[in-house]
Each structure stands twice: as C-alpha cells, then as structure tokens.
Amino acid sequence: MKKLYIETLGCAMNVRDSEHIIAELTQKEEFELTSDLTQADLILINTCSVREKPVHKLFSEIGYFNKVKKEGAKIGVCGCTASHLGEEIIKKAPFVSFVLGARNVSKITEIIHKDKAVEVDIDYDESTYAFSDFRSSPYKAFVNISIGCDKKCTFCIVPSTRGEEISIPPELIVQEAKKAAQKGAKEIFLLGQNVNNYGRRFSDRDRDVDFTDLLRMVSQIDEVERIRFTSPHPLHMDDKFLEEFASNPKICKSMHMPLQSGSTKILRAMKRGYTKEWFLDRAARLRQMVPDVRISTDIIVGFPGESDEDFAHTIDVVERVGFEQIFSFKYSPRPLTPAKDYDNQVPQEIASQRLSYLQDLHLKMLDSISARELGKIYNVYFEELKPGGYVAGRTDNNWIVKVKGSEELLGKFADVRITKPGRLGLEGEVIV
Ligand code: SAH
Ligand code: F3S
C-alpha cells in the first residue's frame, strides 16, 4: 500500500472534494491515508482562493512539504487556487507534480500517473457522482447538490474557479443521501455555492424541481433525521422556501444568510441582487416563523466605495437581526473579479478598524445571546469526543454542546439541560 497525506483548506465543498479524492485513491488505486507527512508517497493540498492570505500560505506550505517529504514522494495541488493559477504553480514551484482544479476532482486517478500535468477545465461536468464512497464522519454526510456558481458577485473568485452552476439530478442526490443515511449518517448536509437556486440548470435535461422540492424529497428518506444545507442566498429566500424551512421537522433550524453588506449602495456594487430592506424583511419573517432559529452570516468590510455611512448600515443590520454567528472578513481584492479594478478602494487601516469594531460589537452581543440559553433543554446529536472526558454534538439550531460522557453517546440523540453558556458553545448535562 502507498500512503496518502491530504490537507484541506477552505469551505465545506472542499471537504467533500477531499472525501471524493480519498475515495478514488483508496478504492481505485492502492493508497491508504496517513497523518504523517514524512511517510507519504503522495502529498495533496486542497486549496482555497477566496481571499489572498491562503494563496500566499500555499507556497510556503508546499515548500515545507518539499523539504520534509520522503524521497520520490509526489506533491499535487488541488482545489480553487489550482484552478486559477494553473501551470503558474508548477513554474513557481517546479517540484509540484500536478495541478488539479476544483472542478476536475474525478480526474485524480489519471493525473497522479502523469508528470507536470495541469487539469483545470472549468467547464468540466462533475454532476454525475462518478465517485467512490468515503466519508470522514460516520454520523453525518455531506452531499453535493450543485457544482459551480452562476452569480457574479463582483468580489468573488469562485465562479472563475468552480465554473458555471449545474444542479445535480435530484434522483442522484436522494440516492446518495439514502446510501449515507442507511450506513448510519442520521444528518445530511446539502452543499452548493448557492443552494436555493437549485434546479435552474441540469446538464442532461430540464426538470421542474427547485430547492424546496429537493428538501422535501430528502426529508422523505426514513433514515434521515436531520437536514442542514449551505449556502443559501438571501435573494432566493422566497416564502415557499421559508415555509418549508419552518414547517419541515427534519430541517435544522439554523440558517446561513450571507449579508456581505448592510448598505444597499454597496450591495448594488457587489451585484448581490437584494437591498438592505429585503434582507431585513426576510430575516424578520424567518424569526417570526421560527422563534428558535439561529441565523449566521458572512460580512465583508472595506469593499471598494464603502463609506462610514455604508458601514453604519451594516452595523444597523447586525443589531437589528441579532445574528447568532458572524464570519467577518476584510475585503480582499481577487484576480478575475471586477471589484479589484474599482478605483475607490478603501485604505487598509480603515478596513481594519471597521473589522475590529464589528467583531468587538458581536462579542458583546454573544454574551447576551448565550446567556439566554442557561437552563434550556435541547435535543443534541453527538458526533465527537473532546478532551477531558467530554462528548460534543449539535442542537437542531446549531449550538455546539458538550457534556461529560464517552463513546456510547456518539451517533445518538439525547436531551441535554444547559448548565454553562459560552460565546462559542454550551455545556450541559444529559437528562436521564
Ligand atoms: N456562496 C458561497 C460563498 C463562498 S465565499 C458559499 O457557499 O459560502 C465565502 C465567503 O467569503 C463569502 O460569503 C464572503 O463573505 C467571503 N468572501 C468572498 N470573496 C471575498 C473577498 N474577495 N474578500 C473578502 N471576503 C470574501
Ligand atoms: Fe461567490 Fe456570490 Fe457565488 S459570493 S460563490 S459569486 S453567490
């Protein structure tokens, strides 16, 4: 057996792509996984290019791989940075054996046998699931529902690295979810760049099915107990979708609503397709329909042209929606995106100040958000052992909860009373 070491950066879609790569290499080729870099015959890094920092890190990372790898071991660069830099990677780091784009994962078994090969075709269609099966957790399963993204958010490189959006046929998704659930994954996590735009285009033939229909289909699988999904787009949060979200008991009550900015002027410059008012209306409707819902968001500060007033709109939305979780980023100019050429870039210091302001504000909000959890009872699905004799799981509305316990709880549901709220997670005890 040869040994495979793989490092995965970035989003859930990359995690799933890595699972596909592992499946292909362990089932169609003679590889087994190792966590010891120096023992590996093949070292892969599955990259992210959404912001500049991880791209810089890539070259120092592979330089390190090259230094410590064993004689004859190959290094391959996969994922979004592979897609957008292509052969430049091999020019800059000639010890790299191959470059495999985010849309070309299924070619992994061919490319490992080539030298200095580059496969980064963004029109390649991987919507047929011609992959072997590997899952990193037995308790939950990522299931892709679409590849690529058709939006043209002006800050975002993803459409250039993952290509045009294609929905995977619903029958394949249901089959994949069923297979995973029958093997014990009670939670199905549906993945796409823009999940609630599902069904606009399939690669084979038209079908009259949208994301809401798909959610219903997956929820009809008996063995599936929980459904999560990421990422939905605020523009496509129509009433039909929100009503299904609210009323379907298998759909977990946590929603990601990527705001990006609270200023309608900036949203327009970002080509997000919605206004501040639309976003507030959808969030209010969601809170009204699902009182226990937890809403997470992504926010970019310092997008070109963002004034103090625009930023104040973002803060206003943050306070009014009361997001339970915020992923916030300083705007990072990306190649192949229109916004990098805008002539009204915001100085770094201002962007940094805004980011700190937003993050400090949210930390304070988290104190009151978590304090109200004390004494509540939640049904928790346990997934992971934690140091110190703890087992951790998630509530339906996506709080991470840890309790004292052991393996016996893994893969099971239990009612837990919250005894200690924290900003990032809760502690509790199982009610017997
Ligand atoms: N629809 C995608 C978004 C992918 S990018 C999804 O499924 O999550 C994830 C987040 O990174 C975006 O929501 C955005 O907030 C942030 N991001 C994207 N491009 C960025 C850039 N150029 N600078 C800073 N943050 C960016
Ligand atoms: Fe990027 Fe916008 Fe698509 S953030 S992934 S272009 S929805």
3-state secondary structure 314-364: HHHHHHHHCCCEEEEEECCCCCCCHHHHCCCCCCHHHHHHHHHHHHHHHHH
Q: Which atom of ligand 2 is nearest to the CA of 272?
A: 2
pLDDT of residue 14: 97
Packing angle of the helix pair 239-247, 276-289 (nearest 10 deg): 30
Burial of 173-199, coded b for 16+ CB within 10 Å and e otherwise, reads bbebbbebbeeebbbbbbbbbbbbbbb
Find the mean pLDDT for residues 176-201.
96
CA–CA separation, 369 vs 425, rounded Å?
11
The Cα–Cα gap between 184 and 267 comes to: 42
The residue-averaged pLDDT of 416-426 equals 96
Atom of ligand 1 nearest to the CA of 157: 19
Task: Give the residue, by CA position, lying nearest to ligand 1 atom 5.
Answer: 50
- Residue 130: the pLDDT is 85
Cα 233–243–277 angle (5° rounding)?
50
pLDDT at 46 over 90: yes
DSSP code, position 228: E
The first and second tokens of residue 295, run together, are 């809403």
Q: Which ligand is nearest to the CA of 151?
A: 2
> Given pLDDT bands bounded at 50, 70 and 90, which one contains residue 53?
confident
Pocket test for ligand 1, best of 300, 332, 346 (most atoms within 8 A of CB): 300
3-state SS, residue 295: strand
pLDDT over 90 (residue 27) = yes
Share of the chain above pLDDT 70, in %: 100
Residues in the chain: 432
Kindly list the distances between the CA atom of residue 219 and the CA atoms of 153, 161, 253, 308, in Å, as whole numbers in the listed order: 31, 31, 14, 45
Average pLDDT, the chain: 97
Q: Which ligand 2 atom lies nearest to the CA of residue 233?
A: 7
Q: How large is the average pLDDT for residues 82-91?
A: 96
Residues with CB under 6 A from ligand 1: 11, 50-51, 155-156, 158, 193-194, 230-231, 258, 260, 298, 300, 329, 331-332, 334
Alpha helices in 187-263 (DSSP H): 211-219, 239-247
Q: In the predicted model, is pLDDT for residue 240 greater than 90? A: yes
Angle between helices 348-371 and 308-321 (to 10 degrees): 10
Rg (the chain; Cα; Å): 22
Domain 255-371, what fold?
A: Transcription Regulator spoIIAA (3.30.750)
Residue 129 near residue 169, CB atoms below 8 Å = no
Ligand 1 center to 213 CA (angstroms) = 27
CA nearest ligand 1 atom 19, residue: 156
Q: What is the pLDDT of residue 15?
A: 97
Runs of H (alpha helix) within 183-307: 211-219, 239-247, 264-270, 276-289
For 126-181, how does the pLDDT look when each residue is reduced to its tens digit (9 = 90+)? Answer: 999 888 889 999 999 999 999 999 999 999 999 999 999 999 999 999 999 999 99
CA of 101 to the centre of ligand 2 (A): 18
Q: Which ligand is nearest to the CA of 271?
A: 2
Closest residue to atom 12 of ligand 1, CA basis: 298
The C-alpha angle 24, 27, 33, rounded to 5 degrees, equals 80
The atom of ligand 2 lying closest to the CA of 193 is: 5
Cα-to-centroid distance, 66 and ligand 1 (Å): 30
pTM assigned to the model: 0.96
Question: Going by CA atoms, what residue is nearest to atom 13 of ligand 1?
Answer: 298
- Is the confidence at residue 57, as pLDDT, over 90? no
Q: Across residues 366-395, what is the average pLDDT?
A: 97
In CATH, the architecture of 135-252 is 2-Layer Sandwich (3.30)
Per-residue pLDDT for 56 more than 90? no
Q: What separation in Å is there between the alpha carbon of 96 and the centre of ligand 2?
A: 29
Atom of ligand 2 nearest to the CA of 260: 4
Report the pLDDT value the prediction gives residue 304, as an integer from 0 to 100.
98
Question: CB–CB of 207/127 below 8 Å?
Answer: no
Confidence label for 273 from pLDDT (cuts 50, 70 and 90): very high
Question: What homologous superfamily is domain 377-430 in, according to CATH?
Answer: Nucleic acid-binding proteins (2.40.50.140)
Residue 115, φ and ψ in degrees, nearest 5: -115, 135
pLDDT over 90 (residue 369): yes
> What residues flank ligand 2, with Cβ below 6 Å?
149, 151, 153, 156, 158-159, 193-194, 233
Domains of the chain: which residue ranges?
2-119, 135-252, 255-371, 377-430
In whole angstroms, what is the distance from residue 99 CA to residue 79 CA? Answer: 9
According to CATH, the topology of domain 2-119 is: Rossmann fold (3.40.50)
| Rounded percentage of the chain residues whose pLDDT exceeds 90 | 97
| Of 403, 404, 398, 402, nearest in space to 369 by CA | 398
pLDDT the model gives residue 54? 81
Reduce the DSSP state of residue 229 to 3 states and report it. strand
Worst-scoring range by mean pLDDT, 18-32, 106-120, 127-141, 319-333?
Answer: 127-141
Q: Compute the distance from residue 236 Cα to the ligand 2 centre, in Å.
A: 13
**Bridge partners, 254 (sequence order):** 294
Q: Please name the helix (run of DSSP H) or strand (run of DSSP E) that holds residue 157, with its range, or none.
A: none
Q: Report the pLDDT averaged over residues 200-223.
A: 96
Per-residue buried b or exposed e for 284-296, using 16+ beta carbons within 10 Å of the residue's own CB:
eebeeebeebbbb
Residues 294, 281: Cα–Cα separation, whole Å: 16
Judge contact between 398 and 406, C-beta under 8 A: no
C-alpha 228 – ligand 2 centre gap (Å): 19
> What is the per-residue pLDDT for 360?
98
Helix, strand, or coil (residue 275): coil
Q: Which residues pair with 3 in a beta bridge?
A: 32
Which ligand has the nearest atom to the CA of 235?
Answer: 2
Tell whether the model's pLDDT for residue 349 goes beyond 90. yes
Residue 218 in contact with residue 261, Cβ under 8 Å? no
Q: Catalogue the E-assigned strands of 355-397.
A: 377-386, 390-395
CB 261 within 8 A of CB 310: yes
Give me the pLDDT at residue 116, please: 96
- Say if 2-119 and 377-430 have the same CATH topology: no
How far away, in angstroms, is 50 Cα from ligand 1 center? 6
Quote the pLDDT of residue 320.
98
pLDDT at residue 55, rounded to an integer: 84
Closest ligand 2 atom number to CA of residue 194: 7
Among all bound ligands, the one having the nearest atom to the CA of 48 is: 1
The CA 47 to ligand 2 mean position distance, Å, reads 17
pLDDT band at 432 (very low <50, low <70, confident <90, very high): confident
pLDDT class for 21, splitting at 50, 70, 90? Answer: very high
d(CA 35, CA 5): 6
Residue 296: both structure tokens together: 């997470």
What distance in Å separates the CA atoms of residue 197 and residue 123, rounded to the nearest whole number?
Answer: 19
What average pLDDT does the segment 292-311 reach? Answer: 98
Determine the residue of 11, 261, 298 to mutate for testing ligand 1's pocket, defined as the one with the most ligand atoms within 8 A of the Cβ atom: 298
By CB neighbour count within 10 A (0-12 exposed, 13-18 middle, 19+ buried), where does 63 fall? exposed
